Each structure stands twice: as C-alpha cells, then as structure tokens.
Homo-oligomer: A and B are copies of this chain.
Amino acid sequence: MELNERKRAILAAIIRAYAEHGEPVGSKSLCDLLDFSVSSATLRNEMSSLCELGYLEQPHTSAGRIPTVRGYKLYISDLMNRDTLSGEMKLIIDAMLDGISGETGDITARAGQILSELTGLPVITTSVMSEHDSVKKIEVIPMGRHSVLAVVVTSKGMLKNRICRVADEISPALIERFYTLCSTYIIGKPLSALSPTYLQQTVALSGSLSLMSLAADVFGMISDIKHSSLTLRGESNLFRCYSRDGEVQRAMELLSQKDVMLSLFNKVTSPVGVLFGDDTEISELQPATLVIARYGHDGHELGKIGVIGPTRMSYDRVIPSLEYFASKMSKVITQNLTDLED
C-alpha cells in the first residue's frame, strides 16, 4: 500500500526524532515537529494506522512509537534527504584522506581509523580477494646466512613481507634460481590461480629443498594477502550502539570473528547498503546496523568499508558521508596505484 504525503511526513519526523533522542515518540511531542499543524488526536490516528501497516511499533501500550526496520527501509529508499552532505564535510574528508600513501592495505586501515574518528562509530574495512589482482613483484633480500626477507607486491598495491629461513646457505645463485622460478610460475599470475595445488604441481619440480621452502613461504604470503581482509577501528565506540548490560561484550566478541563479519559484508552488493541487525540471524547484532560502502579502483571492487551504529542512527548523515568517503578513498588508492606505475 502506498502511503499518502502526510503519513510519509509523519514517519520521517518520527524517525528523525527517534534518531536524535532515542526515546519513543509520542503524539504530543510529534505535533511540534511537523511543519503543518494538526492535533495530537489526528496524529494518534495516523500513527495507529502506520503501526498496522508495519512501519511503526510500540515498545508497550502506554509508550510512544518507534520505527520498525520496514519503516527505516522506506525512509532510506524514499523519504530521506539524499544530498544533505555539507560542503564542509566534503572538505574535511578530502583533507583527511589526501596525501595518504603507501600500500593499499595500509591506506585502507588508516582510512578506517579516520572514518571512525569522523563518525564516532566503529569502522570495519574488508578487502575482497579481487579476481583481477595478480602478483606484480617478488623480491628477496638476504638477511642472515640462512634467512631472507621476502616481499610480495600485487598489482592492486597489496604488500606483504616475511622473514624466511632456509636450510641451504643463501647464495646469489640460489636467489637467482628463485627469481627464475618466480617469474616463470608466479609473477603476473592472478591470485586466484595461485592455490596450494598449483604450488605442488609447479615447484615440486624444482628439486631443491630450499627453493621449495621459499616458494611455500611465498604461497603462504599470497594466501595471507587473499585473506588479510578485515580491520576494525574505533571499537570503543561500540558503546554507542548498545545500551543493555553485556551486549557490548558479546558484540565485541562477534566482531573479532573475522569470518562471520566477512560473510556479512559480502551480503551487500550495492555501492552503498544498509544491513539491519534484525535482518541477520546474528542475535548479538540485533540493536545495531551496518552501513557499508564499496571502494575500488578502475571499476573493480577492492573492498568494503562500513560503520556499525545503533539502528536509530542518523541515516541522512551517515549514508552520504560514507558514500563520499568511499569514493574519495577509491580516488586516493587509484592515485597511489598510478604513482606506482609511472
């Protein structure tokens, strides 16, 4: 059923008031919030109707109304003001993100920190294992007589290093052979192709134990890159999402389960999406909601960045900010990648 103009205005006003004060909105206080004047009795009728339609609910009989998830969804898709992002906020985001450089993973983590400070909410970033990412460079730096520092860089700017020990003494010849092996079997290959079975099929042929252990380490690093996908920043802000005792604790434990969060983030496919705790089967998330945006490079998604907030958060502030933030992030990453190329 379509809502008429007045019902829509009432729903929007209730959502805004609830976001601000966090308390059920009654018919009287609602009177003052509307830009047209009707009596509280009329509002009661309208509110009761919105309840029946599933957009509002009452915590208990003698309380005001609060929005339901359905109400929020309508608000976000139809009702809210989509372009409320102030020029000031854009300037701040630009200023915070401009000039950040480094490897893509670092940039993402730091952007998460910044977004958390900007919004006062916990922020999660993920990097999807990009189908289009490939190994760009592998370097080996001798450290001791039996150890080297191996560095792997991907074409999307992900970087990983690890100190590797080998049985043989490190020699220029060994390193030379390893580089040959890498450029034959690894460099330029998409990450998705570099599975452990591929490792077995190719490197097992090389014969040398040290070469094999080095290669195994490199594959380990590549696997790390594929899965090094989740950072959490500003966790102390979790307290803004929950009020009841013990909820924050359980939520924090949930957030540390990377795989769960990752699969949650993967549910979002639109450029910017809202994932209500109520819509997930995860009880710890109940009173919270995720707002998630994609960032990327060259049209390809590199990952997602999202904030966790109370379901009653101010979507008309959070969504445009996050949208702009993610697009700026994409630009910064792209800039860094082209810097690496030229």
CA distance A101 to B342 in the complex (A): 36
* Sampled A-B contacts (19; CB under 8 Å): A101-B165, A139-B149, A141-B141, A143-B153, A143-B340, A144-B339, A145-B341, A145-B342, A146-B342, A149-B151, A149-B153, A149-B159, A151-B151, A163-B336, A235-B252, A236-B256, A239-B248, A248-B248, A248-B249
CA distance A239 to B253 in the complex (A): 11
Chain B nearest CB, measured from A338 CB (Å): 9
Is chain A's interface secondary structure helix, strand, loop, or mixed overall?
mixed
Interface status of A278 (Cβ within 8 A of chain B): no
Interface status of A190 (Cβ within 8 A of chain B): no
Q: Which residues of B contact A331 (CB under 8 A)?
A: none
List A residues 135-164 near B (Cβ within 8 Å): 137, 139, 141, 143-147, 149, 151, 153, 159, 161-163
Residues of A in contact with B (beta carbons under 8 Å apart): 101-103, 137, 139, 141, 143-147, 149, 151, 153, 159, 161-163, 165, 235-236, 239, 245-246, 248-249, 252-253, 256, 336, 339-342
Q: Which residues of B contact A256 (CB under 8 A)?
A: 236
Contact in complex: B153, A161 (CB < 8 Å): no
Contact in complex: A151, B144 (CB < 8 Å): no
Contact in complex: B249, A239 (CB < 8 Å): yes
Q: Which residues of B contact A153 (CB under 8 A)?
A: 143, 149
Q: Which residues of B contact A139 (CB under 8 A)?
A: 141, 149
Q: Which residues of B contact A253 (CB under 8 A)?
A: 236
Q: Which residues of B contact A165 (CB under 8 A)?
A: 101, 339
Instruction: Identify the closest chain B residue to A102 (Cβ).
Output: B163
Q: Which residues of B contact A339 (CB under 8 A)?
A: 144, 146-147, 165
Known: A143-B153, A144-B339, A248-B249. 20 other contacts (CB 8 A): A102-B163, A137-B143, A139-B149, A141-B141, A144-B341, A144-B342, A145-B342, A146-B342, A147-B339, A149-B153, A149-B159, A151-B151, A159-B163, A163-B340, A165-B339, A235-B235, A235-B252, A236-B252, A236-B253, A236-B256
